[in-house]
């Protein structure tokens, strides 16, 4: 038997290597309009040959690398005409599974920054003069610090305690640290800290801050309104009964009749359980529509890309010619690299627009009934069906619709909203969209009578009358997904508010 020896062997294999240009195209395809505009801004800073063209008309045909990008032509629904746009990068090249993309060096899909254009009305007057920015509203912390400074009755030690309490507030307006622990950290007595805390809790605006529990927060707000009496104290001791809508025991516990209890419950509903919450400080997430659907005078539906969300770029050919004449031979390599990168960026942007419009056109062609009648007429649809109709890969459809929004007469909706599973109809009837079923369940519950609250079995019977073959457990699952309480909880709630 011959001994094994090391050696060299030649072997030919096929391996997919992703070029930087292909990675760029795949990355741009799945970007939202806000992310694309942020990428374009960075490219404009990095590439001196790339410039933005404002208010320039879009040519109808494919642009050369040094011309303004144009969106694909629009479509009329329910016309079955398909987009025959020529491929710049190659749709087949973009049709790659995520695992394949990762193996080929991948792409960064962690881009999640949201942005919005600045409102010109806040910066420019009608005469063209620049207006000063409006003064920023003071935060809650700043307002409380000002109240602490203006409280003349506080001693220096009490001001120190107040500053520590202020620094310990959480976003809801409650203390993060127990008062006993906070007193130990400050080196003051628990009684001194509690005296300052209760004064700030009831006299500072808004009242209810610096509490350690929901009960204490609500009690401070009632005390500030001079509405904290023994009956209300007892009511606050039984917040768990109110949360579970078990209010039949409360009149006897509080020593009041049902009319007084109803007034007390109404007063509780007007209190703020999170007085420190500042929604304006969270910032707004602006959703920019990538596609706009409009109905034409003849009743047909038109699909367009949102021109305002599309970056318009071109290569500065004038700078390119001047640079080639003035640069030395050794420096022209840098210029050629920037030209090549800009050309591929323009092609990738145009390919994204063509693919997005092709997919959006087919989605809305399938959902004409939704446009005309609303969510109840939503048609079951899968990405595979769109892929087969458009000739794209399912992964390309997924990337093209990820995070993209379409503006319709029914509202601004994410494209993924239109992809829903199907539930079988009864006696051979057509399938129903799961989203349409959820809409019907909500509509049935919203219309239910106070004296006849619908159980899940009642909802099943109503849906089956409409030809929907659905199980009770499915109704319960959809109801919970809609954050709708059970029939028992709804019945208690309606009885308590009667």
Cα-trace Rg, the chain: 32
Angle separating helix axes 190-203 and 214-224, nearest 10 degrees: 60
Q: What gap in Å lies between CA 352 and CA 347, rounded to an integer?
A: 9
**pLDDT at 183 > cutoff 70:** yes
**pLDDT at 144 > cutoff 50:** yes
Q: Is the Cβ–Cβ distance between 415 and 360 less than 8 Å?
A: yes
Q: Quick: pLDDT tens for 431-467.
A: 777 778 888 888 888 888 877 888 888 888 888 887 7
Enumerate long-range contacts of 488-495, CB under 8 Å, 24 or more apart.
489/244, 489/245, 490/445, 490/448, 490/453, 491/453, 492/244, 492/245, 492/246, 492/247, 493/245, 494/450, 494/453, 495/245, 495/247
Per-residue confidence (pLDDT) for residue 207, from 0 to 100: 92
For residue 155, CA distances in Å to 161, 196, 204 come to 10, 10, 17
Q: Is the Cβ–Cβ distance between 400 and 447 less than 8 Å?
A: no
Burial class (CB in 10 A: 0-12, 13-18, 19+), 32: buried
Q: Quick: pLDDT tens for 233-274.
A: 999 998 888 888 788 888 888 988 888 888 888 898 889 999
Q: What gap in Å lies between CA 359 and CA 393, rounded to an integer?
A: 11
pLDDT average, residue stretch 92-106: 48
Burial class (CB in 10 A: 0-12, 13-18, 19+), 65: middle
Q: How does the average pLDDT of the chain come out, rounded?
A: 77
- Give a three-class secondary structure readout of the chain: CCCCCCCCCCCCCCCCCCCHHHHHHHHHHCCCHHHHHHHHHHHHHHCCCEEECCCCCCCCCCCCCCCCCCCCCCEEECCCCCCCCCCCCCHHHHCCCHHHHHHCCCCCCCCCCCCCCCCHHHCECCCCCECCCCCCCCCHHHHHHHHHHHCCCCCHHHHHHHHHHHHCECCCCEECCCHHHHHHHHCCCHHHHHHHHHHHHHHCCCCCCCECCHHHHHHHHHHHCCCCCHHHHHHHCCHHHHHCCCCCCHHHHHCCCHHHHHHHHHHHHCCCCCCCCCHHHHCCCCCCCCEEEEECCCCCEEEEECHHHCCCEEECHHHHHHHHHHCCHHHHHHHHHHHHHHHHHHHHHHHHHHHHHHHHHHHHHHCHHHHHHCHHHCCCECHHHHHHHHCCCHHHHHHHHCCCEEEECCEEEEHHHHCECEECEHHHCCCEEHHHHHHHHHHHHHCCECCECCCHHHHHHHHHHCCECCCHHHHHHHHHHCCCCCHHHHHHHHHHCC
**pLDDT at 123 > cutoff 70:** no
pLDDT average, residue stretch 99-114: 40
The pair phi, psi for residue 117, each rounded to 5°, is -65, 150
**pLDDT at 370 > cutoff 70:** yes
Q: What gap in Å lies between CA 475 and CA 242, rounded to an integer?
A: 27
**pLDDT at 75 > cutoff 60:** no
Q: Is the Cβ–Cβ distance between 56 and 68 less than 8 Å?
A: yes
Q: What gap in Å lies between CA 56 and CA 354, rounded to an integer?
A: 19
In the chain, % of residues over pLDDT 90:
17
Q: What gap in Å lies between CA 52 and CA 34, rounded to an integer?
A: 16
Any idea of the CA torsion for 122, 124, 130, 136, to the nearest 10 degrees? 0
Q: What gap in Å lies between CA 479 and CA 303, rounded to an integer?
A: 34
pLDDT average, residue stretch 5-22: 69
465: Cβ contacts below 8 Å, ≥ 6 apart:
none
Q: What gap in Å lies between CA 485 and CA 493, rounded to an integer?
A: 10
> 393 or 77: which carries more pLDDT confidence?
393
pLDDT average, residue stretch 329-349: 83
This prediction's pTM: 0.55
**pLDDT at 360 > cutoff 90:** yes
* Buried b or exposed e, range 195-229, using 16+ CB within 10 angstroms: ebbebbbbebeebbbbbeebebbbbbbbbbeeebe
Neighbours of 289 (CB within 10 A): 18
**pLDDT at 423 > cutoff 60:** yes
Per-residue confidence (pLDDT) for residue 308, from 0 to 100: 83
């Amino acid at each position: 038997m011959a001994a094994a020896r090391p050696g060299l062997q030649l072997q030919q294999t096929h391996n997919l290597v992703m070029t930087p240009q292909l990675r760029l195209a795949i990355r741009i395809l799945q970007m939202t309009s806000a992310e694309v505009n942020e990428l374009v801004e960075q490219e404009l800073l990095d590439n001196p040959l790339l410039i933005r063209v404002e208010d320039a008309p879009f040519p109808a045909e494919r642009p050369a690398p040094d011309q303004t990008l144009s969106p694909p032509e629009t479509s009329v629904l329910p016309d079955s005409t398909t987009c025959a746009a020529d491929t710049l990068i190659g749709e087949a090249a973009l049709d790659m599974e995520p695992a394949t993309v990762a193996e080929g060096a991948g792409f960064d899909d962690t881009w999640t920054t949201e942005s919005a254009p600045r409102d010109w009305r806040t910066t420019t007057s009608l005469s063209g003069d620049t207006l000063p920015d409006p003064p920023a509203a003071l935060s809650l912390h700043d307002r409380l610090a000002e109240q602490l400074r203006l409280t003349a009755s506080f001693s220096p030690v009490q001001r120190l305690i107040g500053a520590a309490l202020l620094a310990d507030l959480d976003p809801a307006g409650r203390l993060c640290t127990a008062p006993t622990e906070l007193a130990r950290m400050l080196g003051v007595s628990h009684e001194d800290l509690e005296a300052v805390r209760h004064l700030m809790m009831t006299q500072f605006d808004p009242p209810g801050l610096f509490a350690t529990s929901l009960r204490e927060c609500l009690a401070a707000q009632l005390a500030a309104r001079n509405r904290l009496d023994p009956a209300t104290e007892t009511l606050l001791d039984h917040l768990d009964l109110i949360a579970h809508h078990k209010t039949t025991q409360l009149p006897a516990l509080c020593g009041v009749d049902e009319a007084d209890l109803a007034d007390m419950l109404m007063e509780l509903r007007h209190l703020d359980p999170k007085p420190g919450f500042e929604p304006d400080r969270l910032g707004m997430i602006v959703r920019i529509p990538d596609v706009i659907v409009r109905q034409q005078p003849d009743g047909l539906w038109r699909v367009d890309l949102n021109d305002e969300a599309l970056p318009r770029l071109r290569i500065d050919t004038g700078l390119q010619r001047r640079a080639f004449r003035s640069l030395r031979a050794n420096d022209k390599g840098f210029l050629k690299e920037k030209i090549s990168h800009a050309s591929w960026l323009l092609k990738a942007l145009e390919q994204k627009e063509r693919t997005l419009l092709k997919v959006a056109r087919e989605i809305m062609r399938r959902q004409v009934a939704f446009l005309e009648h609303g969510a109840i007429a939503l048609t079951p649809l899968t990405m595979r069906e769109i892929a087969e109709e458009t000739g794209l890969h399912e992964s390309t459809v997924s990337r093209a619709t990820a995070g993209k929004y379409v503006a319709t007469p029914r509202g601004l909706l994410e494209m993924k909203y239109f992809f829903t599973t199907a539930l079988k109809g009864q006696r051979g009837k057509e399938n129903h969209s799961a989203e349409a079923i959820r809409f019907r369940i909500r509509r049935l519950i919203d219309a239910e009578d106070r004296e006849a609250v619908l159980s899940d079995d009642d909802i099943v019977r109503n849906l089956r009358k409409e030809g929907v073959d659905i199980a009770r457990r499915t109704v319960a699952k959809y109801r919970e997904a809609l954050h709708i309480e059970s029939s028992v909880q709804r019945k208690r709630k309606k009885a308590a508010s009667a």
